Amino acid sequence: MSGNKLKKEIMNKNIFRSRISILVILFMLEIFFLPIIPIISEVSFIELLVLILVLSLIFVFSIYSFFKISYEINNGKLYGKMWSISTGYINISEIISIKRTYNPLSSAAASLNRLCVKIKKKGKYPYILISPIRENEFIENLLSINPDIKIDVSYKKRWWKIWNWDI
């Protein structure tokens, strides 16, 4: 896709990047570096330095990958993308409902503040979990294509939501 065409689509606001949760980043940081603690005294300084360097590079690449998750609305379809490569799509006309969820299941979403998009069961999965950054605009775009979508996306303050942990 040419640069001008991509800029036009972004200006048309058909591309929505994923939210990125600081809590998910902190959890990944713990998973990457906590296993090093028991072996610190058993390896040499150079080996430890190399291990930390390699894990740091993998960690930084993983976090950078979060910024490459996006959702594109195009030709009546909702595409999931990672690094501009389509990971699949659903027809917007097949969407039944959209609900708020904090489901931690694996998905193309870098935040736990997600939308559960329920679709007419054709394939393996009856729903997808996504976390677009401009959520209201995203839902409005979907509704402009399929006004029959039932929306249940609450913005209630909960006791565990001290502040917004997403970037």
Domain residues of the chain, as ranges? 3-18+67-152, 22-65
Write down the pLDDT at residue 164: 57
Q: What CATH architecture applies to the domain 3-18+67-152? A: Roll (2.30)
Strands 95-101 and 85-91: unpaired
Write down the pLDDT at residue 126: 87
Instruction: Give the whole-angstrom CA distance, residue 97 versus residue 153.
Output: 10
Per residue in 10-30, pLDDT (tens digit) is 445 588 999 888 888 888 888
Residue ranges in the chain whose pLDDT is less than 70: 1-13, 122-123, 155-167
Output the CA angle 74-75-79, nearest 5 degrees.
40
Instruction: Give the whole-angstrom CA distance, residue 88 versus residue 104.
Output: 20
Residue 14 is given by DSSP the state -
Write down the pLDDT at residue 117: 92
| 152, β-bridge pairs | 99
Write down the pLDDT at residue 22: 83
